Every structure is written in structure tokens, then in C-alpha cells.
């Protein structure tokens, strides 16, 4: 057997025969030129609509986050901007329709990838839509998970969210991908389905004659074999039963809330029982905008997401964009190192009018929503920045101002920053990326972005300690919160709310209710003292056994 190591993202150990997920279709040729470009261009929109229709059909058979993922992918397929761009490539450059779709989608994906962070992770979704439309145009089988006639371990270069959303956990023993990372939708949905998963297993697809595999979603180890491996399914816990109240077994409140960016996300969060929203990513409302949306346009977009949470807390993050997340109307120019440049709140220092109009729109949406709306800023590094933002929030008539802790300097200055604002929320995805100098989109660096890394936990502990001293809320809205075991550890570090993808809400809420806060504090101390991420995970598990 060959032994490889990746990043375990969904707990459990399973083994069995391997089923490979087909790679995308080959890159379409730019020749021959179509004899009738107008007729060739006219094929694109019906193909996209057919793809969207099938995705909507699949969405109708599932609920919660899986439904939201499939609906979002279907909406991407129907995006008129994508079809129009592809049609122009056919009529303007005489490209065949498949090649035109390929180039148009790649342009959209590259823009998202350049944006970094959460936006970059959506580039994979665009590529998935691209491949499905191309398959429709050439009459080929669309890419994705093959039909399974026996229980199998899925082996793939990567999995698009739409591939993962409606997997049958009775047939899929485990997931192994060569790419991806701990914050991917594959990781989130695998945990929700109770399927062991390991991502970023470099070289696994190059191992010859793989017939069977043993997968350990805790250690991240994958053993492949050129012989049959007995089927052993992971022991799956019964579906999480949660009463909807986020609290430890001894009644210590820990809110279990959701990360959202659209109306579909909001509906999935409500269906999952989320107690509110810990992160509303407002930049989704700007992505297709060639110019800054009017205040009323913004208000309507925000209201669609906020209104379903009447009577519940909603934390709205102001625009997280800039040189590394380009929006046409900002015209930020080119920077040599945009991930460390003018982004997030830093944009507002030069363009305070953009921030003020967004705050005006948020206040208007909040006023007629019935939700308890707070606002927080991304990419805050110092107390002066935090105080500047808080003053503008209060001037806009919004009652609560907070900031994101994504930069190590902010974590180390958490007590001072909390003195200037009402709450903080830790973005573990970016905090890990900056603490380890490791691009979270690179599969080769996925291990450094493992949220169990002790150095990351120690930064979180600093923030939790400051929150306790000042009696102010400390949230986590990175995907670290979606790991039920880690969620308990975070509570033990002083975190008072956990925000995650909707699919993870019930399991995290149920796990919090299993142990008193003192037990989670003991698990947290064990994890802090561990030398590696793998040891931290095992130490916490042992402490709670």
C-alpha cells in the first residue's frame, strides 16, 4: 500500500473500493470557425438553461445548505453576463461555442481568483458551470461524481460544491481530493453529511493502479492499494438533534449563527435553525456592478438577506474589497502585493463616502427588517482604525459597531481594540493565512491553514481573554467554527458565538450541548499545549472522551 498525507477535514475512518471522479473535458479547440456564427452563438443560452434546469431539479430534492449550493450554481449557469460574453466571442472572433464558453468563464474565474479569500474559492464554481455547459454543447456526459453501484471511496482532483451537495452518504464511504483546503465547500458539506474526508493529498492521482483505499479523516492519512480493500464504513452519529438554543451543557450561552451572502444563503440558514447571522458578506451585492450601486439598490439587496431574521441578531460586514478584490467602480489601480495592500476598511480611508453610503443603506434595511443589526469592518489592524470605524457607524444611526480580527497585530491588540468597539469577530481563514504567510488557496500549503494549528489557537486565546476581561462578545466567523469538536474548543477559549455555513449548524449546536464549559476549557488548554495541528485535534478529543 502507498501511504500519503493530506489535511483531514471531516472526521472518521473508512475503507473500500475506489471510484474516480472524472476530470473535466479536454480544453475545447478554437477551430474550426463556425460557418454561421449567429446560429452557433444561439446555441449557448439554451445549453446554459438546460444545465441550470438540471441543477434546480437536484436542488428540489434536498434541503438546507445543499439546496442553497445547487441553486447558486444554477444561477451562475443562467448568468446573462456569462452567456453574453461567450456569444460575443462567437460572433466577434468566430470561435466555436464550446471554446467561447471556455474563454468567457475563464475570464470570470480569473477575476474571482484575483480577488483572493472567499471570492477566490468561488472560481471553482465558475469552472464547474463552464464544464457543464461545454458538455451540454458537445453532447458529452457532464463532469462530476459517477453513478455508484456499490459503496466506494471517491477520489478526485477536486470536487465542485454542486458535486458534493447531494452525495448519498450511504454509498460514499469517504472523499479524497488532491486539491482543496480546510475552508472549501467540500470540507463543510462532508462534515455535514458525516463522510470522512481528506483534502490536499498531493500526488494521490499519480499513484498507479489504485483499486482500494483506507481514509482517516482525523489524521489526514490515506492509504491506497492496487488490490481490493474490505468495505468498512465510518461509524456515523445519528443526525444531530439540537433544540435551537446555543449553549453548553451547563447553560453557558454560545450563539450558533450562520455565514450568508445572499437570499438563498439566508433561507438555508433559517432552515438549519441558525440563531441569526454572524457574517453577512455584503460584497456579493457589488460583484456585477460596473458602478457603485445606489443607496436604495443596496438597501433592497441587504433587506432580502436581513428580513428573514426578524427578532434575531445579524452582523453585517462592510465592503471587503480593494486592490486584491477588484470592483470596477473603486478604480484602485495595480499594487505589487495586493493581499497586503489597500483592501477592506483601508479602502474607506481614501473613499469614506463609499462607506457612509453603505452604512446609510444598511441602516435603512435594518430599520424595516425587525432584525437586531450590527455592523463590522474587515481588515482592521489598530485601535485608531477601530475607533474611526465605530464613530462612523454610530453617526449613521446604527447601534453596535465591531471589527474583524484577521490580522495578527489586531489579535495581539485585542484588549485595546475591544475598548473602542462593542464586539469583535475572528476571521480564522485570513488570520491563519497571515499568521503562517500561507495563501489559503494553495493546496500545497493547506496544512499550514489547518484551523487546529496551535499557533492560530494561541492567537484566538489572546482575543478570548480580552473579551472575558472586558465582558464583550468575541465571535468566530471563519470556517473553523463549522467543525463541531473545534467549535467546543473555541468556546473554551472564550468565544461567545460561532458562525458557519448553514449545513454545519445542527451538529455544532448539538456538540456544544454535550459538555459543560469547564470540559471545553480543559480541551482548549490541551490543544494549546500541543506541538502540531494533528496533536491538538487528538488532545482535544481525548480531553472530551
The secondary structure of 126-147 as a DSSP string is HHHHHHHHHHHHHTPPPSSPPP
Q: Indicate if 285 belongs to the active site.
A: no
- Model pLDDT, residue 194: 81
Q: Indicate if 535 belongs to the active site.
A: no
Closest CA to 220 of 522, 521, 12: 12
What are the cell numbers at 112?
A: 474571482
Rounded CA-CA distance 145/18 in Å is 12
- Model pLDDT, residue 398: 97
- Model pLDDT, residue 288: 58
- Model pLDDT, residue 383: 97
What stretches of 325-427 show up as alpha helix (H) in DSSP? 345-350, 352-367, 383-395, 408-412, 414-418
- Model pLDDT, residue 323: 47
- Model pLDDT, residue 240: 62
Q: 238: which residues sit within 8 A by CB, 6+ positions away? A: none
Other Cβ atoms closer than 10 A to 83: 22
DSSP string, 3-68: EEE-EEEE--EEEEEEEEPPPPPPPPP--SPPSSHHHHHTTHHHHHHHHHHHHHHHHTT--HHHHH
- Model pLDDT, residue 65: 65
Quick check: 148 and 168 in contact, CB under 8 A? yes
What are the cell numbers at 299?
A: 438597501
pLDDT, mean of each 10-residue run, the chain (545 residues):
88 93 86 95 96 90 76 86 94 96 90 65 82 93 83 90 82 92 75 86 91 92 94 75 93 96 88 95 73 91 95 95 60 67 87 95 94 97 98 97 97 98 95 90 80 96 98 92 94 97 88 97 98 94 95
DSSP string, 254-302: -EEEEEESSHHHHHHHHHHT-SSEEEEEGGGGTTT-SSPPPHHHHHHHH
Rounded CA-CA distance 428/459 in Å is 10
- Model pLDDT, residue 322: 59
- Model pLDDT, residue 58: 87
Among the options 303, 477, 515, 535, which is catalytic? 477
Rounded CA-CA distance 467/465 in Å is 5
Among the options 185, 285, 303, 515, which is catalytic? 185
Q: 384: which residues sit within 8 A by CB, 6+ positions away? A: none
What are the cell numbers at 364?
A: 435603512
**Could you tell me the CA-to-CA distances from 71 to 144, 262, 390, 479, 518 in Å, in that order?**
17, 11, 36, 21, 41
**Could you tell me the CA-to-CA distances from 125 to 76, 101, 445 in Å, in that order?**
8, 14, 21
Amino acid at each position: 500500500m502507498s501511504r500519503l498525507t493530506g489535511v483531514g477535514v471531516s472526521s472518521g475512518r473508512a475503507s473500500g473500493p475506489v471510484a474516480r471522479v472524472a476530470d473535466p473535458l479536454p480544453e475545447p479547440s478554437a477551430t474550426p470557425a463556425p460557418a454561421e456564427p449567429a446560429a452557433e452563438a444561439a446555441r449557448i443560452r439554451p445549453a446554459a438553461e438546460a444545465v441550470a434546469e438540471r441543477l434546480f431539479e437536484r436542488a428540489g430534492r434536498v434541503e438546507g445548505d445543499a439546496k442553497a449550493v445547487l441553486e447558486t450554481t444554477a444561477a451562475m449557469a443562467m448568468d446573462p453576463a456569462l452567456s453574453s460574453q461567450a456569444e460575443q466571442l462567437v460572433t466577434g472572433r468566430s470561435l466555436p461555442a464550446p471554446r467561447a464558453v471556455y474563454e468567457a468563464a475563464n475570464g470570470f474565474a480569473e477575476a474571482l481568483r484575483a480577488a483572493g479569500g472567499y471570492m477566490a474559492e468561488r472560481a471553482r464554481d465558475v469552472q464547474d458551470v463552464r464544464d457543464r455547459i461545454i458538455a451540454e454543447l458537445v453532447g458529452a456526459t457532464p463532469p462530476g461524481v459517477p453513478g455508484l453501484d456499490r459503496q466506494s471511496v471517491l477520489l478526485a482532483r477536486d470536487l465542485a460544491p454542486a458535486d458534493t451537495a447531494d452525495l448519498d452518504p450511504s454509498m460514499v464511504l469517504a472523499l479524497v481530493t488532491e486539491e482543496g483546503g480546510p475552508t472549501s465547500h467540500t470540507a463543510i458539506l462532508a462534515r455535514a453529511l458525516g463522510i470522512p474526508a481528506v483534502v490536499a493529498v498531493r500526488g494521490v492521482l499519480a499513484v498507479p493502479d489504485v483499486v482500494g483505499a483506507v481514509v482517516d479523516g482525523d489524521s489526514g492519512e490515506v492509504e491506497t492499494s492496487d488490490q481490493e480493500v474490505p468495505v468498512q464504513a465510518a461509524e456515523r452519529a445519528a443526525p444531530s438533534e439540537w433544540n435551537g438554543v446555543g449553549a453548553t451543557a451547563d447553560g453557558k450561552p454560545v450563539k450558533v449563527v450562520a455565514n450568508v451572502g445572499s437570499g438563498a444563503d439566508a433561507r438555508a440558514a433559517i432552515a438549519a435553525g441558525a440563531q441569526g447571522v454572524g457574517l453577512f458578506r455584503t460584497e456579493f451585492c457589488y460583484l456585477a456592478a460596473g458602478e457603485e450601486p445606489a443607496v436604495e439598490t443596496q438597501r433592497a439587496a441587504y433587506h432580502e438577506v436581513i428580513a428573514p431574521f426578524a427578532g434575531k441578531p445579524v452582523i453585517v460586514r462592510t465592503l471587503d474589497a480593494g486592490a486584491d478584490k477588484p470592483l470596477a467602480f473603486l478604480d484602485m489601480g495595480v499594487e505589487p502585493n495586493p493581499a497586503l495592500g489597500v483592501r477592506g476598511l483601508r479602502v474607506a480611508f481614501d473613499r469614506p463616502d463609499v462607506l457612509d453610503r453603505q452604512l446609510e443603506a444598511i441602516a435603512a434595511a435594518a430599520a424595516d427588517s425587525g432584525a437586531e443589526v450590527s455592523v463590522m469592518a474587515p481588515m482592521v489592524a489598530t485601535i485608531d482604525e477601530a475607533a474611526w470605524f465605530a464613530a462612523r457607524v454610530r453617526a449613521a444611526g446604527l447601534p453596535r459597531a465591531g471589527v474583524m480580527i484577521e490580522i495578527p497585530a489586531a489579535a495581539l491588540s485585542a484588549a485595546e481594540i475591544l475598548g473602542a468597539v462593542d464586539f469583535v469577530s475572528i476571521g480564522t481563514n485570513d488570520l491563519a493565512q497571515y499568521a503562517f504567510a500561507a495563501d489559503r488557496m494553495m493546496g500545497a500549503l493547506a496544512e499550514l491553514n489547518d484551523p487546529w494549528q496551535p499557533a492560530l489557537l494561541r492567537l484566538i486565546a489572546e482575543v478570548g481573554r480580552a473579551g472575558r476581561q472586558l465582558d464583550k462578545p468575541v465571535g468566530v466567523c471563519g470556517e473553523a467554527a463549522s467543525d463541531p469538536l473545534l467549535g467546543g474548543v473555541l468556546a473554551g477559549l472564550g468565544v461567545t458565538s460561532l458562525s458557519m455555513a448553514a449545513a454545519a449548524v445542527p451538529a455544532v449546536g448539538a456538540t456544544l450541548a454535550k459538555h459543560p464549559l469547564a470540559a471545553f476549557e480543559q480541551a482548549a488548554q490541551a490543544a494549546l499545549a500541543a506541538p502540531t495541528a494533528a496533536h491538538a485535534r487528538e488532545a482535544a478529543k481525548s480531553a472530551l472522551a
